[in-house]
Structure 1
Amino acid sequence: MKLFLEDTIVAPATNLSKQAISIIRISGKEAFNIVNKLLKKPLIEKNVQQLRKIYDNNQLIDESLILTFVENNSFTGENVVEINCHGGVLLTNKILQLLIFNGARLANPGEFSQRAYLNGRINLLQAESINNLIEAKNNLSIKLNAIGVVGKNNDKVIIIKEKILDMISRIQTSIDYPDYDDIEGSSSEEILKSLKETFNLIAEILKVSKRATFINQGIKTTIIGEPNVGKSSLLNALLNEDKAIVTNIEGTTRDIVEGEISFDNFSLKISDTAGIRKTNDQVESIGIEKSLNQIKESDLILYVIDKPVINQTIFKKIKSKKYLIVLNKADILSKEEIKKVFLQDKHIICVSAKNKEVNKLIEKIQSLYNNEDLLVADLPILTNINDITNLEIALNLINSSIKNLENGFDFDILSIDLYKSLEIINNLLGIIEMDEEVINNIFKKYCLGK
């Protein structure tokens, strides 16, 4: 159902800075009327480009190319006017002020996308892809989210919806009309088969979505090890900058130092931590405690050593995580010492952080997170943690239905779980209106003008 909100909103769609062109976007039923108050020649209400002079009262302040979109042809599903004015900060703010003075309201962050969702122009999956595309930090993120913006793979979610709806319909018919026991597809075996197909499809979507969270959000990577093994030097070498202080004094790093590295297919959110050892220094102890907590929250651990000995106390804390053991200072170790380390663990990479010889480590990390296959997965990718969590709930509900049917429970018990699953899928597709507060929370993280 098309929903027009009462206010007409305005915001800069480009950053407010000195540049050639600034774009100001206005959306709402009064968009044309408000802009016309700044013009002597009114806009034609068609989907066209129009060159117009902009006035403050009778004083000419700019000549701009104006793009106009009428309702169904716009991003928001409302009348939209985009003013491409000259990119001076003062001029852009001046035109914004005139539009607000003449009846527009400054948009909240993400409000344009929110209106597009409310007016049925995009679903939540597309909305998340739009935001991720703006925030993209690597090439694969751009490619994946561009697919999500156009909703190319959303048909799989629609298939899930149709399967659940079909099962509910058949089950309900069997309950309401028990004498008609020959309805096609309504036997226990046929319902069970459909449930398992739905389960497998949801599980596939969740699998690729969890992999894709690394692409959009970055891989939380923590460098750990004993003091003075070269953790800070490794961070600096990976970032190619002097981010962390490096000295020969043990315990130099007492707090977490962070940086970010972008590759073609993923980004690393990398943290250098305090060296792990027994100490009576109260401040250093706090840093070590933070290091141990970082291990729990990390997706990848880089455990740095500088001699052919693996500290088993540290190793026990990381062995359940994805990890690489980084043998640093390899340039000063003998072949026998290096060989001795490789006999202890297969996840070992030799580097010389001081000499910035870390290419082998970078290549290994790239091989761990080569996600190009996601581009041909032909599946929708959920990037919002809440969406993933909700789909996991739907998966568990479908699984519960499978077990209940296999255990001989009546169809009416299945209907309860299936209705809950259908509600989750509908919310992803934007079919059922959510509570206003929930919708506001979803879109408020978006940038202004989007």
Structure 2
Amino acid sequence: MRRVCLTLPTDRACAGTIAAVHQEAAYATGRFDVEVHLLILDSSDDETVAEHAAALDALPPVPNVVLHHLDEAAQRVFLRKVIEKARPAQPDLVLSLMLPDRSSYGACTNRAFLIARALGCESVLRRDSDIRYQSLDGVPVYPVHHELASLGLPASEASAHVTGTELDPGRAHRPVTMVGSSFIGELSVDIGEIERLDPEVYHDMVSLWAPTDWSAEQKRELVAESFRGAGTEAFSGDRATLTVVDPMRVDMSNIGFHQVQELVPLPPGTETIGSDYFLIHLVHDAALPGVLHNRHIVNYYTPERRTDAGFAAYHVRLVKFFLSMLYFNAVYDRMAAAGESMLDERDRVRPAVIAGFLRDSAELDRTENVRRLQVLDRCYRSLGGRYAAFADLLAARGPRLLDEARRDIEDFALLTEVWGPLMLAADAATPLEPRRQLERSGT
């Protein structure tokens, strides 16, 4: 029986989502020969952590579903033991990259990758706390159906579990490395109001994540499809394609990885939306097989980001996303050019190659990012109201954000260089045991 990790990182109250993901885990074990480790990584406040613990305690036991709930204190204990065994040159820095004191989409998923290795899980499936599942005739539509049908199988075998194949036959011997889908509902980035207020400003902002040498038409096409997922079409029946998956067609709230997550981590940058999408690009550029299916989740917005404090925090993350693209666009270009040469003789990604691309990108001149800040300042001010107030905040924080964007890519390079030893340490000596619920701190 294989083990997989179904993980839900959260920093907000989401007892309902926890129950729904637990039902997905039960669906998985009822249909596949698999042991599902449902891993809740909880960065919420103490009261919310207690609410989540009570919600988990109330769940009915399900054969071969193992529950794990770790607050940040418990996660830190695990990480310190792993880092102590891995013995990186800068242990305190590595700990801060794995468990930063600010929000990091990449870091929380990296912790799931390490813990999954400690639990003996060969694949990691990720969901988010602000999702719902679609239903067909009143029955929930679970992405795990396609993930477990194909992940880790040679592509030649996985072809029996899909409705179509677009994969080059010369790649059919490689294992399916990623299975994913997208979302319907709200935009994945909460900027719909900007588009309603001023479509031209929306275009100018969203196009900032394109490479600067793209044509106006390429940027228009990017803006037209950005953050929209699969649109609004409701699920009516399964479609799944064996292919090299287009990164624009999947979302990190609806994704499963096999093996690649043990070779290269996600960017640990803080306060940055989209910082957890790197592996999707890597799998594509290395021409590793994947399955793209249509069991899209439903995305929605939590009330917190509508508050004044939540609004400002969210737009800082959006700005940092645009600034990060100076570096990531350069890395993506290098990965696309390298293609399958990024793989070793066993068709595994070579981490040293990726770390080299990251190190090189950190040396880029940041004039392009200064221009991005200027465009953003103009855009926010033109929208008026709290957008204009945010422009004042951005003007004050701009120089620091430029420094943070460069440091984030340097930190990513460092973490990539030590990721192998961290994985080996997690595998070889941890306090985690399969088939047992992890103790929460304070219990």
Which protein has the bigger helix share?
A: 2
Query: Normalising by structure 1, what TM-score?
Result: 0.20
Larger radius of gyration: 1
Higher relative CO (Cα under 8 Å, sequence separation at least 6) belongs to 2
